[in-house]
Chains A and B, each alone.
Chain A
Amino acid sequence: MKLADIATLIRSKNAGPFFLTFDIMFTDKEHYRLVKASRSLNAHMFAALYACPVQTVRFFECDNAFAFKFSIPRPLPQGELGDGDLHGGQQFSPLMNVEITLPEGESILQRC
């Protein structure tokens, strides 16, 4: 199952002019819990997906918000020559296809 089939929001945004941040959100605790239990989201997987050094990737599991978060330094600061996304809002799409492998015996409803 792909992340986009179960997350209610996958987004990216500047976190100040020098960082990008990615949020993956769920409306209910159960979906969040299952994705967390799958361990499919982690700094190594993100570093491979975005071809950036793993030590620059920060990964957070936010239990209260039913959300995951990644943050990385921007490849280029906001507005620098060559930066093609001033607000950082269109950097998330590779995350949509991340395969979520549920723990044995668990199942999940895809969102409509």
Chain B
Amino acid sequence: MVELRQCYERQKGNSTMDEIRYIAGTLVGAGVDIGSLDEALKENPHFIACDAGTTDAGPFSLGSGQPAFAREAVKRDIAAFLDAGHRAGIPVLIGSAGTAGEDGQVDWTLDIVNEIVREMGIKLRVAVIYAEQDKDALVEVFRQGRLKPLDAAPHVDEDTIKGSAHIVGMMGAEPLQKALAEGVDFILAGRCSDSALYAALPILHGFPEGLAWHAGKVVECGTLACETAGKGIMFVHLRQDHFLVKPFGQGLRCTPQSVAAHSLYENVDPFHFTENSGIVDITEATYEAVDPITVRVANSHFQPVDPYTVKLEGAELLGYQSVIIGGIRDPFLLRQLDRWLAHVRMYIEETIARVLGDQAAKEDDYHLMFHVYGRDGVMGSLEPNRAAVPKEVGIVLEVTATTQQLATTIAKLSRQPLLHYPIAEWHGATTTFACLYNPAYIERGAVYRFNLHHVIIPHSPLELFRTKYIRIG
């Protein structure tokens, strides 16, 4: 760390600064507001950063490698940031490239960057930092006992690691700082702590880590830290004993409450945030209005933690799905719905055994599930009012199987039992299920699950990340 800082200072000259300023975008692909960005540039920021990913989209993006955002939207936003950075002569940092930040998505984003640079006719020194983890190396780490579960982690063994589609490590500030010390114009990082994008350069300049991380935490979701979120960007003035945060954008404002309240958003604990290198503690933080849109924050602390850890995210293939969507309105059936569904399931399973035999005989070959909307489709086991008999229910029959063909075959075999399984109240042939579509089934393709909630203890903060320096244009 000290060496990095010396290297950075050699390159930039005297780096003693009273204040460091930066622009925080919301999310690459969400549509940066260029007017706000231009306004913010007038305050002479030292860098621009924005993250391009999230796990909130679900495990599909990490498992399949497909970005959750449209290429055109990602290109527009990165072009806006690169243009702003080029005009101001300041570095631009993008993290968690391509949604999950696996290597293919980093390269997908790099391809977009190449296109932008060609079109803009500029020259760019780029650091590309990859975050995907080699499975064989991880198995070694597991054997050495350097893989540790976090709270509520799923079971993991060597097969979990080997069977993952992709595993990424979440980089902290250090790989970014190393690239910044090399003097690049642009950092394109794979999976990365959002706050690290904003904390890396300030910490490199010796600003207090508590304030640097807390400021990053406040702005990492862009204008969500405002009273009402909207079109715009966030701006931070970070100083030795406090930071100022304010938005640029029509009608946006930060208030002490909105900034304090943002620490609740999507966090388990609103006072402590775990980063690779330690814990950000904002229990004693103070929030004060400076003007109608700006908040001054002070007294944020940082507690370094030994050992340094890197959080892993992994996704594995669950199988392939086909679903049937429909509904039930018959009150006689609705008052015995659980029993009826159990009978339908049994009938379907018997049909599968009879028709498919060995093709679907093993426990893992297929999985049948009913989502019952109107009863507990949304809340599942957390639903406190499951016993009420609804007026109608929507049902999704979900088949997950080892191949798409098997999933669809089972969905087809399920339709007749759903349509015609009788109840005692009616004498004669009935149709018990209202299908929404024809054909009744929909093929959903591959589905994935998150299979890791673990950290590993690396030999160094840089060990798990590979940096490639390139010149474009």
Q: Which of A18, A19, A64, A90 interacts with B378 by CB under 8 Å?
A: A90
Query: How distant is B387 from chain A, measured CB to nearest CB, in Å?
Result: 13
Residues 53 to 112 of chain A near chain B (Cβ within 8 Å): 58, 60, 62, 64-67, 69, 71, 73-87, 90-91, 94
Is A41 positioned at the interface, with any CB of B under 8 Å from its CB? no
- A21 in contact with B267 (CB, 8 Å): yes
The total of chain A residues at the interface (CB under 8 A) is 42
Contact with B along A24-41 (1 / 0, CB 8 A): 010100000000000000
Q: Which residue of B lies closest to A15 (CB)?
A: B268
Residues 37 to 54 of chain A near chain B (Cβ within 8 Å): 49-52
Contacts of A73 in B (CB 8 A): 151-152
- A76 in contact with B380 (CB, 8 Å): yes
Contacts of A67 in B (CB 8 A): 261, 264, 270
- A79 in contact with B380 (CB, 8 Å): no
Contacts of B59 in A (CB 8 A): 17, 78-79
Is B400 positioned at the interface, with any CB of A under 8 Å from its CB? yes
Given contacts A16-B55, A65-B270, contact A80 B261 (CB under 8 A): no
Contact with A along B250-282 (1 / 0, CB 8 A): 000000110011011111111100000000000
When chains A and B are docked, how far (Å) is the Cα of A71 from the Cα of B271? 13
Contacts of A62 in B (CB 8 A): 260-261, 263-264, 270-271
Contacts of B318 in A (CB 8 A): 81
- A15 in contact with B266 (CB, 8 Å): yes
- A18 in contact with B152 (CB, 8 Å): yes
When chains A and B are docked, how far (Å) is the Cα of A62 from the Cα of B259? 12
Residues 440 to 462 of chain B near chain A (Cβ within 8 Å): 447-450, 453
The total of chain B residues at the interface (CB under 8 A) is 45
- B58 in contact with A66 (CB, 8 Å): no
Contacts of B154 in A (CB 8 A): 77
Given contacts A78-B450, A79-B60, A79-B449, contact A91 B267 (CB under 8 A): no
Q: Which residue of B lies closest to A76 (CB)?
A: B380
Is B135 positioned at the interface, with any CB of A under 8 Å from its CB? no
Query: How distant is B333 from chain A, measured CB to nearest CB, in Å?
Result: 22
Main secondary structure of the interface of B (DSSP, over half): loop
- B369 in contact with A18 (CB, 8 Å): no
Q: Which of A21, A50, A84 interacts with B268 by CB under 8 Å?
A: A21
Query: How distant is B226 from chain A, measured CB to nearest CB, in Å?
Result: 14
Residues 355 to 379 of chain B near chain A (Cβ within 8 Å): 367, 369, 371, 376-379
Q: Which residue of A lies closest to B153 (CB)?
A: A18
Contacts of B382 in A (CB 8 A): 50-52, 75, 91, 94
Contacts of B257 in A (CB 8 A): 27, 64-66
When chains A and B are docked, how far (Å) is the Cα of A69 from the Cα of B263? 11
Contacts of A65 in B (CB 8 A): 257, 260-261, 263-264, 270
Q: Which residue of A lies closest to B321 (CB)?
A: A81
- B377 in contact with A84 (CB, 8 Å): yes
Contacts of B447 in A (CB 8 A): 79
When chains A and B are docked, how far (Å) is the Cα of A16 from the Cα of B448? 16
Q: Which of B150, B267, B448 interacts with A79 by CB under 8 Å?
A: B448
Known A17-B58, A76-B380; further 10 A-B contacts with Cβ < 8 A: A17-B453, A21-B268, A58-B269, A64-B260, A64-B287, A75-B382, A77-B449, A79-B450, A80-B449, A94-B382
Residues of A within 8 A of B (CB): 13-19, 21, 23, 25, 27, 49-52, 58, 60, 62, 64-67, 69, 71, 73-87, 90-91, 94
Sampled A-B contacts (16; CB under 8 Å): A14-B266, A15-B268, A17-B58, A23-B261, A49-B384, A50-B384, A51-B381, A51-B384, A62-B264, A66-B261, A69-B264, A76-B380, A79-B59, A81-B449, A82-B369, A90-B378
